[in-house]
Structure 1
Amino acid sequence: MNYTIIKDSQSLQHVCEQARQTEVIMLDTEFVRTRTFHPQLGLIQLYDGKQLVLIDPLEIEDMHCFAELLADTSVMKVLHACGEDLEVFQHVFGCVPTPMIDTQLMAAFLGYGLSTGFAALVKDYLAVELDKSESRADWLARPLTEKQHEYAAADVYYLLPLYQKLLTQVEEKGWLEAVQQESRLLVEKRLTTIEPEQAYLAVKGAWTLNSQQLAILKIMATWRLQEAKARDLALNFIVKEANMIEICRQQMTSLKQMNEAGFDHREIRRHGQTLLAMVQQGLKVPEQEWPQPITRLMDNPVYKQLFKTLKDVVKHASETSGLATEFLASKKQINQFITWVWVHQRHPEKLPEVMQGWRKAVVGDALNGKMK
């Protein structure tokens, strides 16, 4: 496995020009995401069947040629479990690999579980045992070790023959168009951003608050998201979700209450007064502007039995199609479908995922038939 480390713009330009002459390239990234809001890119791996390169983005100032490669629609980009890679590319380069196909999704259409790892597929299809001991390495540290380089290179070197074998089987089973649909859906879902004013809906435990408390949480969650993006810090490193819920529930008016609730002293010192000011701001919101209480599907008395019925439909579709149940329709997707029926009255512009694309014929129509 011969690879080249790319550390300058001129070499990168040559690599990208060569890659754009091919029909398909393998891509992967190594990044660090511990305390930051955005993943921090440490390394890019690229293999086009001839050149296997490790691109060092910490050394290269001008990478616009790589962004152009990502956006080149004549070159298919192959990745594995690329959800966070998409975030990396979008954040760093302002674009994502287009077109793109994910080998984890390809495997899912061949009966594998949706979260099947790269090493497991390489072992099954290529009879190669990959060393994954470097998966938690610090990819921002320099210099990278030879072992890290080999680990990173292997992720795209073996991706090519794996992709070729998966592609043959997917085409034979007639799932290629569905794989492409699912890959596009993955991009769409991964790059969907939460509007700051809707951030409170994603806070765990928000459903436990009444409308006035939600008015406070809405202000607080909006501020936390904006602060996290501005400082590039993970949300819970700004203020913990559980603390936000407690502040809103008690409608706290003093730092003493935060201390008594066991909040981290650094959090109180850094943001305590700001949070208290937001409580006061929230209390002044007119009642007619309070958010609606958050109702959970599971609180409906018929939900539990209905979910079981729909789950049985998915199980039957799984047995018929050979696809894993969680891939066909996850709990989240089933709940999305129930919401579509109960809340949106089957509105055609709010179609749930199970009523779109390949899923509609495989499982969606059958689910719809079970709902009155």
Structure 2
Amino acid sequence: MVNRERLIELFKELVMVDSETGHERAIADILKKKFSELGLEVVEDDSMVRTGHGAGNIIATLEANVENAAKVIYFTSHMDTVTPGKAIKPEVEGEYIVSDGTTILGADDKAGIAAMLEALAVIKEYNLSHGKIQFLITVGEESGLKGSKNLQEGLLQSEYGFAFDSNGPVGNIIVAAPTQARISATVHGRSAHAGVNPEDGISAIQVASYAISKMKLGRIDNETTANIGRFEGGKATNVVCDRVDILAEARSIKEEKLLRQIEHMKNAFDQAAQHFSTNVDFTYEIMYPAFHFSEADILVQNVKKAIEAIGREPKLITSGGGSDANVMNGLGIPTVNLGIGMENIHTTSERIAIEELFKATELIIQLIRQYSK
């Protein structure tokens, strides 16, 4: 039932609309029009006043055409992209859609949006039975899940959700993803002339380096990671550096492990400060919660059945990254993230197989049909 050529042209149309994160106005207006033309009630929420992004989140609702549908469900993808995402020129190369190599493609995550719009077109054309369905298209996913974290209350009434925002083939089910802490540390030293009286100074670079050398970083265990992402300090070679600013992160599937890793990193800074007779300002912020489903969960069972129905083999995956699914689970709406087939995301080599785009659309249709009973 999926119109392959229409789907390809729709995807190409969407990726050619500039929508780097923070600048979503143009794509938001186009999506509102497309969802409306398909007969959905469309609302743009008020999150823009809190995020500062170019648009709010879009919530589009299709009312049920059957009585007593099992559950209200929703699908979600994000409308923003990473850079370089301006003037994208999509091309079909064999079985793939690619960019011209000077920009990203934008399959992350306009592939999900294209699949949703084509699924709706099929439902309308063939008058397929369906329960109440909602579509949440977020802004600011690429800048820290800002859109979903600022979602206006009361607009989403769904009981289960499906995010189409994971690399890997259609059939992959992200059943677990970590919580993340953003860590900031300011290491204070004391300036002095590096050649005349270095002994009167305290090198913040040396203090910070000493602390980091004592930390467990990288892969901590199969559920926990940590990383130093930015290290900034110093102005000249002849001045003992008096300040270093560090930006780091820690992630874990288990909250207690995350807190343990944060405490470990803080202790390393505290001990270094004590050793060099100085001090460190250490803060952290939980960016989003973790989620974890088992194979026994009804949501996972239903997704597996849908994947098998379209001829793919379901595969349960634990991810090391966060997505809007993390936020939505934190809001109490069970949501899994699903593979959509995008490859080499966040690079100018990004691409997507046409067959994966096609299968993602089939999967959306199958999920809608299952939840119409």
Scaled by the length of structure 1, what TM-score is found?
0.27
Higher fraction of strand: 2
Greater RCO (CA < 8 Å, at least 6 residues apart): 2
Higher fraction of helix: 1
